[in-house]
Amino acid sequence: MSWGYKPNNGPQKWVENFPIADGVRQSPIDIVPGQASYDAGLKPLNLKYDPSTCLDILNNGHSVQVTFADDTDSSRLTDGPISGLYRLKQFHFHWGASDDKGSEHTVAGTKYPAELHLVHWNTKYASFSEAASKPDGLAVVGVFLKIGGENPNLQKLLKAFDTIKSKGKQTSFANFDPSTLLPGCLDYWTYDGSLTTPPLYESVTWIVCKEPITASSAQMAKFRTLLFSADGAAPDCMVNNYRPPQPLKGRAVRASFK
Ligand SMILES: Cc1cc(=S)c(O)co1
Ligand SMILES: [Zn+2]
């Protein structure tokens, strides 16, 4: 039985096969704005994405993921809390079965309906997979989704969902600019954490944007038409693919803004 989000294979069980689930820098966390310390030394995020690096969109059985060509520096993150240059590898989402939950990070206990993760890897290493297990290997930009007006930039993504409904489905997906999914204001919180899915490597510098982007309730419903299950298996709706907040264990959360 492989890991998932059900009572018998979900976040409460992951520690059985991935003991680091009880580690000292696990993600996500509850971000308490009043306890975050403003750090004037934090630089603004510098994100530059080249839509021509967009390759395909995939249902990997845990989320919907858009993958990028990472053989050049043309889609990358610099500055912010990191040093060096991190290349964009993929982005994906976590969401709930209803609009009242779905994000992984929470803000003073508040859950958002979904959370976008833009995954970047440190080019001091030779590849994503080499970087993925290093303490400074990854930088993930998290963006909350809140319910509001229809988001035209999500539409292109959502239209592809019908062709990747079940686990293992993948289709080419070109010329998508992930910067269209970023909020106008790039104020952020940052802390040292981990992947939020197994293998839960403690390799992520988390960069969580304070400002959410919007999605309509109908657009959120579209995410919920995806399936955890493969073609031919009993259909199992892909919902609640989020890990709940983990203990802070003394970590500092810094804010790039006052
Ligand atoms: C690499 C990676 C990062 C995150 S946050 C995730 O959910 C899955 O895979
Ligand atoms: Zn994620």
Residue 1 in this model has a pLDDT that exceeds 90: no
Which residue puts its alpha carbon closest to atom 8 of ligand 1?
197
ipTM for the whole complex: 0.97
Nearest CA-CA partner of 197 in 7, 8, 9: 9
> Which pLDDT band, with edges at 50, 70 and 90, does 7 fall under?
very high
Strand partners, 237: 227
pTM of the predicted structure, to 2 decimals: 0.99
Asked if 201 and 18 touch (Cβ cutoff 8 Å), the reply is no
Quick check: CB of 119 below 6 Å from ligand 1?
yes
Using CB atoms within 10 Å of the CB of residue 258, give its burial: 0 to 12 exposed, 13 to 18 middle, 19+ buried: exposed
Nearest CA-CA partner of 194 in 64, 15, 2: 15
Residue 46 in this model has a pLDDT that exceeds 90: yes
Strand 54-59 and strand 64-68: pairing? antiparallel
> What residues pack around ion ligand 2 (CB closer than 5 A)?
117, 196
- What pLDDT is attached to residue 61? 98
Q: What's the gap in Å between 43 CA and the centre of ligand 1?
A: 24
Asked if 140 and 65 touch (Cβ cutoff 8 Å), the reply is no
Q: Looking at the annotation, which residues are catalytic?
A: 62
> Which pLDDT band, with edges at 50, 70 and 90, does 18 fall under?
very high
> Which pLDDT band, with edges at 50, 70 and 90, does 108 fall under?
very high
- What pLDDT is attached to residue 36? 98
Digit-coded pLDDT (tens) for 169-191: 999 999 999 999 999 999 999 99
